[in-house]
Amino acid sequence: MKKAKQYPFYRIWQQRFRLHSEDRSGFPGLPAAQQWRRWIWQALKHDGSRAEIGLLLLDEAEARAYNRDYRGKDYATNVLSFALNEGEILPPEDDGVLRGDLLICPQVVAREAAEQGKTLTQHCAHLAVHGTLHLMGYDHIDDAEAEDMEALETRLLAQMGYPDPYAQERD
């Protein structure tokens, strides 16, 4: 029996969310594409969004170049989010599908995870959710927005069995 007939949720998932991923980081031991899909879907499904997202895992040199070229900051960062219609002249897509790209640098993520006493998997899950929420329009520019976004991230990660990613900051 086909997976979609056996699991109707799987069919709905495929209709509402497409993930295109590429690993150019060369970093060993990263979570599988299916795991990234699960984390991103967790962020999307809470408000019923339909999405087509590109996930690009970059090495530090490439991540640094993107951060420098698009944010004016000359260092490799953990995650960059690029919504298709963010800052563009083009209007949002008429079909209501969220389109964007997540660029993640596993080398930076691994360093941060070690510094914060987290596993690589925990930190990858957090950054996948965090970056996806940015694509959806969430931000943390001011304190009120930051509190709302952090609370949502914490709730979404807890639903998947992950600890509060901000627990150390709150202690």
Where do the DSSP E strands lie in 16-104? 17-23, 50-57, 79-83, 97-104
Give the phi and the psi of residue 72 in degrees, each rounded to 5.
70, 20
Give the phi and the psi of residue 55 in degrees, each rounded to 5.
-115, 120
Binding-site residue set for Zn(2+): 130, 134, 140
With tokens 């807890």, the residue in question is 158
Residues constituting the chain: 171
∠ at Cα 18 (150, 85), nearest 5°?
Answer: 65
Binding-site residue set: 130, 134, 140
Distance CA 62, CA 104 (A): 10
Q: Is 37 helix (H, G, I), strand (E, B) or coil?
A: helix
